[in-house]
Structure 1
Amino acid sequence: MMMTSQAAETEGDKITSWVSVCPRGLWEVCQRRKRGAGPTDPSGDVYPGIGSLCQVRVQRQGEPTADPELSLKPDLPIAVLSDAQVPPLQRSQGTMLQVPLGDWIILRLGEGQCDITEGCVEGMRAGEKCEVMLTPLTDRLRGGEEEQKRAGPDQSLCITVELQSFSPGHESWQLSAGEKWGWVMSHKQRGGDRFRAGDMWGAADSYSRAIKLLITLKLHTRGEGEEMTLIEEEEEDEETEKKDSLEAPTDRQYRSTKASLYSNLSLCQLKLGQWSRARGCASRSTLLEPQGLKAWYRLGQANLEAGELEEADRAFRKLQELQPDSPSALRGLREVGRRERETNSRLGQRLGKMFS
């Protein structure tokens, strides 16, 4: 998930930087791409897009290159590989680079397997290499708000990303509303899988990607029962089985899915201790779906952890209003009361010392 991005050009080079979400937290990524290197692919200035299969190698700078005979060499050109022929990649939890290092791999752009690698590959041509410096950012609280602080240079990691070849893909604006919806639901499902596997950063990344794509569908939703025009009538018989995956969401599906994504993202942020962000996402979810029980509970939790006891009390009482027998609401209200008593007790002790 690219949170911020900056670009600059020096003589012969292009430098891009952004902040990446990884299993170990937030990392600042600084990419230097040599502009003088010519492409080895006839695609010329064509770059990979969403859905492109990319043959990529990522390795730490200074380490020897893997034996070419052991590297991945597809029996078929990458442009004609099917999903079944693409070896699955297991996302690593032990490093900010979630892909195997030193060997050629096939990466599908847009899936969020490795944000750093995908962010580099998006602007590369076949045959190009780029140098990347990764620096960890540490979260800290200041005035009740979260901010990031850059770690020292001794903690930085330098890698090289090389793109050998890739299959055709699409820019986000080239995707139809139905195709975007398919990607949204794919990211949502992947987020759930990652969450259940304990990959909180990966789940947060998937939900964020889904939200970004879903926002672009706001003007392309349809009413309940409204016919779509994306599928031509003469092709209707051939596409009957695929129609559900090609249709854009209804207005109701759009709001419900967006609310669910924000609620799920807030849960990930709670697990990661990002109280301020969790509050923001849970609040957006309750605005989209005021009857959403989980979102109100997560809003209460986030406010509770952030020390906003009045707001936490309000959220838990709203949950209790929606579900009078909710044990979660009752536990939340009890915890608010307990913390208020602790706060009042500490305040009383300080005042007692002042006047003793």
Structure 2
Amino acid sequence: MHTGYDDLNELMKTSQDLAFTIELLQVESASEYEHESWQLTEAEKLDSIPTLKDEGNTLYRTGNIQGALEKYRTALGYLEQLMLKEKPNDEEWTRLNQMKLPILLNFSQCKLDEKDYYAVIEHTSSVLSYEPDNIKALFRRGKAHMNVWNIEEAKSDFDKVAALDSTLLASVNSLLKQLSERVKEKDEETKNRMKGKLF
């Protein structure tokens, strides 16, 4: 048999014992390293969710958006896995879903900071399907709609926020003013581009 490598060909002709040298760099106990998802029991996944959320919050506060997203994504993944084992709308499923919603809101805030507006709309809409009056979800979704030029949807979300929490009226009015100015600028820009053009 010819392998294309002389040293390997020689080794194949006359079998020889192989000797390996293994260097142990570090020994870690089970509690010292992060387990892969598939290694965790359902109870371990459930127990780790509040910790993952807290770690994500800490990372977010320090400006580490990517790190926070990763923690929230892991927590959401665990919750999804656990929810799949339950019958939708049963007591345990509902309890897990209640744990999921605040993490989904935090995840959405990170996505808003990253300017991933369509992801924000998707995730906040998911929260709003269970909690239609969730002010944070409405406010974040309104901002996302505003940035992707869904003008009517943005106005609708901001109007709901103002109706639900009058302390946010100044913020909502400021955003609505910005939205109105942006629409005006866009209309003016379109008007100038169309000037002198006949169809």
What is the TM-score of this pair, normalised by structure 1? 0.44
With over 3 angstroms needed to count, the CA separation of the structure-2 counterparts of 1:348 and 1:213, relative to structure 1, is same
How far apart, in 2, do the equivalents of 1:196 and 1:268 lie? 11
Q: Which entry has the higher C-alpha Rg, 1 or 2?
A: 2
1:274 to partner: Cα distance: 1.4
Equivalent in the alignment of 2:96: 254
1:181 to 39, 46, 50: 46
1:78 is the counterpart of 2:4: no
What secondary structure, in the 3-state scheme, does the structure 2 residue paired with 1:187 have?
helix
- Whichever residue aligns with residue 335 of structure 1, its letter is Q
How far apart, in 2, do the equivalents of 1:195 and 1:330 lie? 27
How far apart, in 1, do the equivalents of 2:130 and 2:70 lie? 21
Superposition pairs of residues 101-180 of structure 1, within 5 angstroms: 107-110=33-36, 171=38, 175-176=41-42, 178-180=43-45
What secondary structure, in the 3-state scheme, does the structure 2 residue paired with 1:353 have?
coil
1:342 to 169, 182, 185: 185
- Whichever residue aligns with residue 55 of structure 2, its letter is R
1:252 to partner: Cα distance: 5.0
Unaligned runs of 5+ in 1: 1-39, 41-67, 87-106, 111-169, 224-249
How far apart, in 2, do the equivalents of 1:352 and 1:258 lie? 52
How far apart, in 2, do the equivalents of 1:297 and 1:273 lie? 15
1:322 to 140, 164, 173: 164
1:212 is the counterpart of 2:77: yes
1:207 to partner: Cα distance: 0.8
1:347 to partner: Cα distance: 2.2
- Whichever residue aligns with residue 280 of structure 1, its letter is E
- Bigger strand share: 1
How far apart, in 2, do the equivalents of 1:195 and 1:268 lie? 8
RCO higher in 1 or 2 (8 Å CA, sep ≥ 6)? 1
- Whichever residue aligns with residue 46 of structure 2, its letter is W
- 1:259–1:286 Cα contact (<8 Å) kept: no
State the Cα deviation string for residues 19-51 of structure 1 (Å, max 9, x = none): xxxxxxxxxxxxxxxxxxxxx9xxxxxxxxxxx
How far apart, in 2, do the equivalents of 1:331 and 1:272 lie? 22
How far apart, in 1, do the equivalents of 2:171 and 2:99 lie? 23
With over 3 angstroms needed to count, the CA separation of the structure-2 counterparts of 1:180 and 1:108, relative to structure 1, is closer
Q: Give the paired residue count.
A: 175
With over 3 angstroms needed to count, the CA separation of the structure-2 counterparts of 1:257 and 1:291, relative to structure 1, is farther
- Whichever residue aligns with residue 338 of structure 1, its letter is E
1:294 to partner: Cα distance: 0.9
What secondary structure, in the 3-state scheme, does the structure 1 residue paired with 2:196 have?
helix
With over 3 angstroms needed to count, the CA separation of the structure-2 counterparts of 1:200 and 1:352, relative to structure 1, is same
How far apart, in 2, do the equivalents of 1:187 and 1:291 lie? 26
- 1:191–1:202 Cα contact (<8 Å) kept: yes
Moved over 6 A (4+): none
- Whichever residue aligns with residue 353 of structure 1, its letter is G
How far apart, in 1, do the equivalents of 2:80 and 2:54 lie? 18
- 1:293–1:319 Cα contact (<8 Å) kept: yes
What secondary structure, in the 3-state scheme, does the structure 1 residue paired with 2:181 have?
helix
- 1:297–1:328 Cα contact (<8 Å) kept: no
What is the TM-score of this pair, normalised by structure 2? 0.74
Equivalent in the alignment of 1:266: 108
Equivalent in the alignment of 2:196: 353
Superposition pairs of residues 56-95 of structure 1, within 5 angstroms: 73=26, 78-79=28-29, 83=31, 86=32
CA RMSD between the two structures: 2.9
